[in-house]
């Protein structure tokens, strides 16, 4: 009987001593940082690219075409992507890239347009224009200007590729390749 009373008394003291007195004088911020509760509410927001970027290339082909491509970041439009690593939720905004294309044939402008999702007739909300480049070999073989444009979902391998063919009079065709 004596042992039972001592055991009950010990269990009672153990339960009563766990009343949180050690945390009474700590601020809420200290309590959250100790329990990592703050990390569950933490969100990171990043933009790709962070700042305005612009590149310009000017290419002269031997078949009489001269192409000026100006790629720049559209700071007003972006695609939102989410990731979660170790209970930290991250938002990534991938900014659109707009390409201004000017095509000259024998020093006469024959084509001037912005290559974006409206031009490609694609209204897919989670895709961004990533690059545009000249297929020089195909351009020389066909005596037309051949541009390759890609339209991708960020951080995936899901990309649509388009071939834009511009003839000597400035007429163009768009063919989706993948």
Tokens of 31: 């309590």
Say if strands 88-105 and 43-48 run parallel, antiparallel, or are unpaired: parallel
Is the Cα torsion angle 75, 77, 83, 87 positive or negative in sign?
Answer: positive
| pLDDT per position as a tens digit, 39-83 | 555 677 888 899 999 999 999 999 999 999 999 999 988 888 877
Q: How far is CA 84 from CA 79, 88, 89, in A?
A: 17, 6, 4
Quote the CA–CA distance of 9 and 166 in Å, as a whole number: 91
Say which residue the tokens 């009079």 belong to: 169
| pLDDT per position as a tens digit, 123-158 | 667 788 888 999 999 999 999 999 999 888 888 888
Quote the CA–CA distance of 90 and 77 in Å, as a whole number: 19
Cα atoms in the 13 Å half-sphere on the side-chain side of 124: 13
pTM confidence score: 0.70
Torsion angle, CA of 111/116/118/120, rounded to 10 degrees? 70
Q: What is the DSSP letter of 62?
A: T
147: left (phi over 0), alpha (psi -120 to 50) or beta: beta
Torsion angle, CA of 170/58/120/93, rounded to 10 degrees? -160
| Architecture per CATH, 52-75+96-176 | Beta Barrel (2.40)
pLDDT of residue 154: 84
Quote the CA–CA distance of 79 and 43 in Å, as a whole number: 17
| pLDDT per position as a tens digit, 160-177 | 899 999 999 999 999 988
| Domain chopping of the chain, boundaries | 52-75+96-176
**Whole-number percent of the chain with pLDDT over 70:** 83
β-partners of residue 60 are: 66
């Amino acid at each position: 009987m004596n042992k039972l009373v001592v055991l009950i008394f010990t269990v009672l003291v153990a339960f009563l001593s766990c009343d949180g007195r050690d945390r009474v004088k700590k601020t809420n911020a200290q309590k959250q940082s100790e329990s990592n509760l703050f990390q569950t509410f933490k969100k990171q927001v990043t933009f790709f690219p962070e700042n305005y970027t612009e590149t310009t290339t000017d290419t002269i082909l031997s078949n009489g075409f001269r192409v000026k491509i100006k790629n720049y970041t559209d700071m007003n439009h972006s695609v939102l992507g989410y990731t979660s690593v170790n209970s930290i939720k991250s938002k990534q905004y991938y900014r659109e890239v707009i390409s201004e294309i000017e095509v000259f044939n024998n020093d006469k402008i024959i084509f001037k347009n912005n290559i974006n999702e409206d031009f490609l007739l694609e209204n897919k909300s989670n895709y961004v224009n990533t690059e545009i480049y000249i297929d020089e070999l195909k351009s020389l073989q066909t005596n037309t200007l051949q541009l390759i444009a890609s339209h991708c979902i960020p951080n995936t391998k899901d990309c649509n590729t388009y071939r834009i063919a511009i003839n000597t009079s400035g007429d163009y065709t768009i063919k989706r390749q993948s």
